[in-house]
Structures are given as C-alpha cells and as structure tokens.
Amino acid sequence: MRTFELQDNDLAFDTDRNIVFIEGEKEITQSLERLFTTDAGEWFLNPNHGLEYAKIRGKYTTNEQMQMAVIKAGLQEARVREIAGIEIEKDTNKRIIDITFICRIDTGAEIRVPFSF
C-alpha cells in the first residue's frame, strides 16, 4: 500500500514542495499511529475505528484494561499478524502514560509504535 506521509498531523513535502509518499513498514507504522491517536467513535464513517480513550484515561483503569484496549485497536490493522508486546509506563506526577505497541506484520517484520496520553 502507498499513502501520503504525515508529519505533525499534516502532509509532508520534500525540498521541491512535492507531496511525500510512503509505503511498506513505514506506511503500516503510520496507519497504526493514526489508529492509536483516534478516539473510537470519533470518525463518523467508521465509529469502531480507533482506540477507546476512556479505557486509557480513566482514573481507575488498570494496565490490563489498557492493554486490552490497545490490542483491540491494533488488530484493526489487517496487516498485523501477532502482538509481540505492549509496554506501559505511567508518570503519575506529570499525568502522562507512554505506551509502546510492538507487533509483527504480514512480512514477518517487527514494528514498534510509541504513543502517549
């Protein structure tokens, strides 16, 4: 698959002001990043697309609930074949959660997708 590269939530351009395209592992990584940064129900054309933010941001959410929400979102990407791991780091002072989704895709390559709340 081939798509537009996104940088800072906007289209990426090269030095000649041409739109940059990506494919392969980089495109799958970007697809997963878009999944994890979209709240489920936010996109009216597909209300199931994305990550259930309420399962991540809740005051009393457990790591297991967070992992299940991330797995559910990650498996929306058809090219993900296996979840290799999910790393969760909480900084309660700064109120930040860093999550890294690690998976194997249909080519056998391993992809790491970090994101934060």
Q: Spell out the domains of the chain, with CATH numbers in brackets.
A: 2-116 (3.10.450.40)
Q: What average pLDDT score do residues 49-73 get?
A: 92
Mean pLDDT of all residues in 68-97: 94
- pLDDT tens-digit series, residues 76-89: 999 999 999 999 99
What does pLDDT average to over the chain?
A: 94
> CA–CA distance from 89 to each of 18, 43, 100 (Å)?
38, 28, 9
For residues 31-44, average pLDDT: 93
The pLDDT, as a whole number, for residue 43 is 86
Whole-structure pTM value: 0.87
Reduce the DSSP state of residue 29 to 3 states and report it. helix
- For tokens 């959660």, the residue is 97
100 CB-near residues (< 8 Å, 6+ apart): 85, 86, 87, 112, 113, 114, 115
The neighbour count for residue 112, using CB atoms within 10 Å, is 13
